[in-house]
Amino acid sequence: MAKLEKLLENLIEFEVLESHFPTEVKGITYDSRQVKPGYIFVCIQGFQKDGHDFIEDAIGNGARVIVIEKDVPRKPGITYIKVKDSRDALSRLSEAYYDFASRKLNLIGVTGTNGKTTTTYMIESILRKANIKTGLIGTIRNKICDEVFPAKRTTPESSDLQELFARMVKAGVTHTVMEVSSHALELKRVQNFNFKVGVFTNITQDHLDFHTTLENYRQAKSKLFQALTLDGVGVINIDDPSGEYMIERCKGRVLTYGINNKHAEIRGSEIKVNVNGVSYHVTTPVGEIRLKLKLTGYFNVYNSLAAIGSGLALNIPLEIIKEGLESLTGVTGRFEQVDCGQNFGVIVDYAHTPDGMENILKTAQQIARGRKIIVFGCGGDRDRGKRPIMGKIAAKYCDLCILTSDNPRTEDPMQILRDIEKGLLELDQPVNYRIIEDRREAIFYAVREARENDLVIIMGKGHETYQIFKDYTIPFDDREVAKEAIMSL
Ligand SMILES: CC(=O)N[C@H]1[C@@H](OP(=O)(O)OP(=O)(O)OC[C@H]2O[C@@H](n3ccc(=O)[nH]c3=O)[C@H](O)[C@@H]2O)O[C@H](CO)[C@@H](O)[C@@H]1O[C@H](C)C(=O)N[C@@H](C)C(=O)N[C@H](CCC(=O)O)C(=O)O
Ligand SMILES: Nc1ncnc2c1ncn2[C@@H]1O[C@H](COP(=O)(O)OP(=O)(O)OP(=O)(O)O)[C@@H](O)[C@H]1O
Ligand SMILES: N[C@H](CCC[C@H](N)C(=O)O)C(=O)O
Ligand SMILES: [Mg+2]
């Protein structure tokens, strides 16, 4: 509970159009359906809907303070506050409502097209090894110490974040590691936050439906490095073509990592990838270590170098960093093996971008002893440009490609598959492929086709336990379906 007057001290540029002070505030939200008595309702003009259209619902649910960007008919007994930017106001009001919880935590933010979830898991493991009480926010789940909470999106809305932070502070958490998506940076979900560490993994094509150009996408990502604390550190991949761009925009100290660039301060070498993991050597400004990760793939060396940089930025000893990384056994739905004793391999992975896919298939090539069979699709209502590119990559690396639905959302599933097929057919060589729209059938088909030593890669949905169609969502878990398919042999 807080006094509205107190919260308004944290707002800039606002006008109280109608006031009924003093007002006790019992919560704050941007969604009329979440309003409870005594809540502030902040109206956001979104991409699909306009929050101003739901003011009546919000008042019906008990909102007594309405934050607006444009003029609306007023009702007696209700306080109306007009602001220039509702998303900014949401962030500022909730920051004050939750007693500036974000400032009481050491925030470690990870951004980049691929590797955010994996890197946050690695950093969490290091922090825990150092006996630090941690919070985690990301695609798979949110965590406060050992307590797990479901995640709706990669980076929640600002008020939901502040609420989580407040619970973290209450639980004694001192460090919070979070994924910071480009949507979050663009839509001000992390506006006014100060990050102690900002990590840049990489930028490759994705989300052009939202950002329209790669330049806008890159610029959105760079905002994380402008939001560092004065003593903050930007941990930046300088093998990535956008690394330099992030360095130029980094407000704090820079710590670079890489494999190819000999100027990288944290540098991996002597990399050996095998089916159960990867081993390599790392030089850092404070010493050298040999590492044996239980996660496989060349790309995971990059993720771990980012995690090492974060650990060093937080003054964690190298030995503890090594222990933290080596004790991580895997990340749900990322190169996860499904083993029911069958004589071929089955991997479930979350690659959903051309770069992620290429990385996984290169790893598959390094470890596979037989044919590679891929089952994948692309999400609807997301970047359409990546579809043919992914088709082409699949055809280049795999002996059999099975195109199937991912989350079609509001799009026609067959149209998505035809978009992928276009790329698949661009290759000069003949491609062995099938289109099976139903994902369950597709997985069963792949498993039935697999012979001894083959590798079936079921890609794109990883940890997801649902499939989203236009008008409904069904429970769906690639790992469970793969098990059923194997057991049916
Ligand atoms: C493009 C995008 O990110 N959109 C998000 C954004 O939508 P929006 O602001 O346009 O909102 P809107 O749906 O048009 O509605 C406008 C306002 O009316 C409100 N409303 C709406 C209906 C109602 O009955 N009552 C009501 O008050 C809404 O709560 C909202 O405040 O804010 C909404 C509320 O928080 C989000 O649900 C919505 O996420 C959509 C569903 C989404 O799919 N987002 C994805 C793309 C996303 O954010 N992904 C990133 C990263 C992905 C990655 O890691 O690769 C993520 O961080 O998860
Ligand atoms: N550093 C990396 N470079 C390229 N591909 C990667 C990297 N790390 C992971 N991947 C691939 O991308 C997939 C997603 O990885 P992860 O979940 O860690 O990324 P993310 O950035 O959190 O994704 P999202 O944008 O959905 O939150 C993995 O399953 C793997 O196939
Ligand atoms: N966080 C990513 C995940 C995509 C995963 C894929 N299964 C899809 O639904 O497109 C996104 O929202 O673009
Ligand atoms: Mg993620």
CATH of the domain at 368: 3.90.190.20
Mean pLDDT of 27-47: 97
Helix (H, G, I), strand (E, B) or coil at 164: helix
Say if the ipTM goes beyond 0.90: yes
Q: What is the pLDDT, as a whole number, of residue 130?
A: 98
Instruction: Enter the tokens of residue 184.
Output: 């979050």
- At residue 275 the predicted structure's pLDDT band, cuts being 50, 70 and 90, is confident
Answer with the residue of higher pLDDT: 230 or 288: 288
- Looking at the fold, whether 251 and 142 belong to one and the same domain comes out as yes
- Looking at the fold, whether 399 and 415 belong to one and the same domain comes out as yes
Instruction: Enter the tokens of residue 457.
Output: 């890669």
Residue at 126 is within a domain: yes
- Looking at the fold, whether 352 and 265 belong to one and the same domain comes out as no
- At residue 148 the predicted structure's pLDDT band, cuts being 50, 70 and 90, is very high
- Looking at the fold, whether 207 and 280 belong to one and the same domain comes out as yes
Q: What is the pLDDT, as a whole number, of residue 23?
A: 81
Which amino acid residue places its CA nearest to atom 6 of ligand 3? 379
Which ligand neighbours the alpha carbon of 378 most closely?
3
Residue 217, H or E segment: helix 214-226
pLDDT at 22 over 80: no
pLDDT at 428 over 90: no
Residue at 9 is within a domain: yes
Nearest to 316 by CA among 109, 108, 132: 132
Helix (H, G, I), strand (E, B) or coil at 135: strand
- Looking at the fold, whether 389 and 442 belong to one and the same domain comes out as yes
- At residue 427 the predicted structure's pLDDT band, cuts being 50, 70 and 90, is confident
Mean pLDDT of all residues belonging to the chain = 96
Instruction: Enter the tokens of residue 250.
Output: 């980094």
- Looking at the fold, whether 155 and 281 belong to one and the same domain comes out as yes
pLDDT at 209 over 90: no
pLDDT tens digit sequence for 45-98: 999 999 999 999 999 999 999 999 999 999 999 999 999 999 999 999 999 999
Q: In the listed set 287, 308, 326, which residue is the last one of a domain according to the structure?
A: 326
> Could you give the residue ranges of the DSSP H alpha helices within 38-105?
55-60, 86-97
Residue at 108 is within a domain: yes
Q: In the listed set 326, 355, 377, which residue is the last one of a domain according to the structure?
A: 326
- Looking at the fold, whether 78 and 128 belong to one and the same domain comes out as no
Cβ(377)–Cβ(460) under 8 Å? Answer: yes
Q: What is the pLDDT, as a whole number, of residue 406?
A: 98
* Axis crossing angle, helix 478-487 with helix 439-449, rounded to the nearest 10: 50
Which ligand neighbours the alpha carbon of 181 most closely?
1
Residue at 331 is within a domain: no
Residue at 259 is within a domain: yes
**Residue 223 maps to which CATH number?**
3.40.1190.10
Closest ligand 2 atom to Cα of 360: 31
Q: What are phi and psi of 80, to 5 degrees?
A: -115, 130
Ligand 1 surroundings by CB, under 6 angstroms: 30-33, 44, 46-49, 51, 54, 139, 153-155, 157, 181, 183-184, 187, 210
Q: What is the pLDDT, as a whole number, of residue 268?
A: 98
pLDDT tens digit sequence for 291-319: 999 999 999 999 999 999 999 999 999 99
Q: What is the pLDDT, as a whole number, of residue 95?
A: 97
In the beta sheet, which residues pair with residue 199?
110, 235
Could you tell me the distance, in angstroms and rounded to a whole number, from the CA of residue 84 to the centre of ligand 2? 36
Q: How much of the chain exceeds pLDDT 90, in percent? A: 93
- Looking at the fold, whether 296 and 319 belong to one and the same domain comes out as yes
Mean pLDDT of 199-207: 92
Instruction: Enter the tokens of residue 65.
Output: 């303070």
Strands (E), 412-462: 433-435, 455-459
Q: What is the pLDDT, as a whole number, of residue 1?
A: 79
Mean pLDDT of 144-163: 97
Looking at 59-73, 115-129, 205-219, 335-349, which range is the least confident one? 205-219
Strands (E), 55-204: 65-68, 79-83, 106-111, 134-137, 141-144, 147-150, 175-179, 195-200
- Looking at the fold, whether 81 and 209 belong to one and the same domain comes out as no
Which amino acid residue places its CA nearest to atom 9 of ligand 1? 46
Residue at 397 is within a domain: yes
Distance CA 402, CA 36 (A): 48
Which amino acid residue places its CA nearest to atom 13 of ligand 2? 351
- At residue 18 the predicted structure's pLDDT band, cuts being 50, 70 and 90, is confident
Q: In the listed set 326, 356, 381, which residue is the last one of a domain according to the structure?
A: 326
Q: 348: domain range?
A: 336-487
Closest ligand 2 atom to Cα of 206: 25
Mean pLDDT of 180-185: 96
- By most ligand atoms within 8 Å of CB, the mutation choice from 32, 40, 45, 48 for ligand 1 is 48
Mean pLDDT of 222-248: 96
- At residue 329 the predicted structure's pLDDT band, cuts being 50, 70 and 90, is very high
- Dihedral of the CA atoms 256, 262, 263, 265 (nearest 10)? 40
Query: Is residue 113 a known part of a binding site?
Result: yes
- Looking at the fold, whether 397 and 419 belong to one and the same domain comes out as yes
Please list the helix, strand and coil fractions of the chain in percent, rounded to the nearest 5, in that order.
Answer: 35, 25, 40
- Looking at the fold, whether 400 and 480 belong to one and the same domain comes out as yes
**Residue 58 maps to which CATH number?**
3.40.1390.10
Could you tell me the distance, in angstroms and rounded to a whole number, from the CA of residue 47 to the centre of ligand 1? 8
- Looking at the fold, whether 319 and 347 belong to one and the same domain comes out as no
Q: What is the pLDDT, as a whole number, of residue 35?
A: 98
Global pTM value: 0.96
Residue at 130 is within a domain: yes
Mean pLDDT of 182-209: 93
Mean pLDDT of 211-217: 90
Query: Is residue 252 a known part of a binding site?
Result: no
> What's at 206, amino acid-wise?
D
Residue at 395 is within a domain: yes
- By most ligand atoms within 8 Å of CB, the mutation choice from 350, 362, 393, 407 for ligand 2 is 350
- At residue 394 the predicted structure's pLDDT band, cuts being 50, 70 and 90, is very high
Mean pLDDT of 381-409: 97
- Number of domains the chain contains: 3
- At residue 454 the predicted structure's pLDDT band, cuts being 50, 70 and 90, is very high
Helix (H, G, I), strand (E, B) or coil at 247: helix
What are the angstrom distances between the C-alpha of 130 and each of 233, 300, 301, 311? 19, 21, 21, 10
